[in-house]
Copies of this chain bind each other. A is one copy, B any other.
């Protein structure tokens, strides 16, 4: 007797490029709130780095009272913080922009969530102190290589303003879902910056440098910047906080369905505050219905929602989802186009046909 369905099929990551590795989470096929390490989307700028992890130390230097080099054992022994965090690539949903923009063509799956454990950066900085002129904190990763726009070698580096760096939820993480962070996701130490798009959450931290001016590395000042204009850089604004957003997981776009009762379901998330309402429209946005929020709120996590649809009448339907948060942000009808395609958060929509 053969029955393949008895062995539950698991989805894979959706491969975009292999070197550097960029793969997205099959977000329409995940249920639950915790994405396994294997299904966590992978976003790299460079090939995976080589470094001697058995001889790993974390230096903190620059505008500090005392430079310090921390061993992993020291870090593991400090008071730990464990938080459920949604990480979203700022290029998530980039392929939906019209006109299209260059860069990785992420669908809706450059987003994942799970449980990170580590030490607050604030705790570490209490050992070094900060000089009065400290302005930003730079995190340099071990990953390095050439950019398409330059022949120079760069390490992936990003900075945070002091205020965000000192938020107790900004952690130097060493565990994901109760296991050491896997190499692909930043072992041994990864910065986790809840509420910001995930370019801020630097992997494979090599060193931390406190500086007295604005950091101008290319991943801070060229990439991860909103450019509102196609032709020039006027009005450029750095990418920081995650926009309020939602994704319909089921049904699938352009799906054919028999008439019946369906649970429309999805997720919603925001960078600051919390999701207060998700509404669904079955008629292309003319009327809206409140969804049931089916997972309890945690400060930095997505929320799951669903809506029971009695799909009795044959025909075509445009289904839309719209989330709002406690800061008064609501998903816009149209995305805010920008030249590099960051922060897409327009009202999500799919079409289905009842046959």
Contact A353 B102 (CB under 8 A): yes
Q: How far is the CB of A148 from chain B (nearest CB, A)?
A: 5
How many copies of this protein are present in the complex?
2
Nearest 4 CB-CB pairs, A to B? A12-B12, A4-B48, A11-B15, A149-B355
Q: Jot down 9 A-B pairs with beta carbons below 8 A, ordered by A.
A: A2-B53, A3-B50, A4-B48, A5-B47, A5-B50, A17-B252, A103-B256, A149-B355, A151-B258
Q: Is there a chain B Cβ closer than 8 Å to A261's Cβ?
A: no
* Secondary structure of the A contact surface, majority rule: loop
Q: Is there a chain B Cβ closer than 8 Å to A326's Cβ?
A: no
Query: Which residues of B have CB within 8 Å of A151?
Result: 258
A19-B184 Cα distance, complex, nearest whole Å:
30
| Given known A9-B18, A11-B18, A12-B13, contact A52–B102 (CB-CB < 8 A) | no
Query: Which residues of B have CB within 8 Å of A103?
Result: 254, 256
- Supplied contacts A2-B50, A5-B48, A9-B18, 11 more A-B pairs, CB within 8 Å: A1-B51, A4-B184, A12-B12, A14-B15, A18-B29, A102-B255, A102-B353, A105-B253, A148-B258, A149-B258, A151-B258
Q: Is there a chain B Cβ closer than 8 Å to A21's Cβ?
A: yes
Contact A100 B351 (CB under 8 A): yes
Out of B16, B351, B355, name the residue touching A148 (CB < 8 Å).
Answer: B355
Chain B residue nearest to A340 (CB atoms) is B256
Contact B183 A2 (CB under 8 A): yes
Contact B101 A254 (CB under 8 A): yes
Q: Is there a chain B Cβ closer than 8 Å to A98's Cβ?
A: no
Interface string of A141-169 (1 = CB under 8 A from B): 00000111101000000000000000000
Q: How far is the CB of A222 from chain B (nearest CB, A)?
A: 10
Contact A100 B48 (CB under 8 A): no
Query: Which residues of B have CB within 8 Å of A147?
Result: 258
Query: Which residues of B have CB within 8 Å of A26?
Result: 15
A17-B4 Cα distance, complex, nearest whole Å:
15
Out of B47, B105, B148, B187, name the residue touching A257 (CB < 8 Å).
Answer: B148
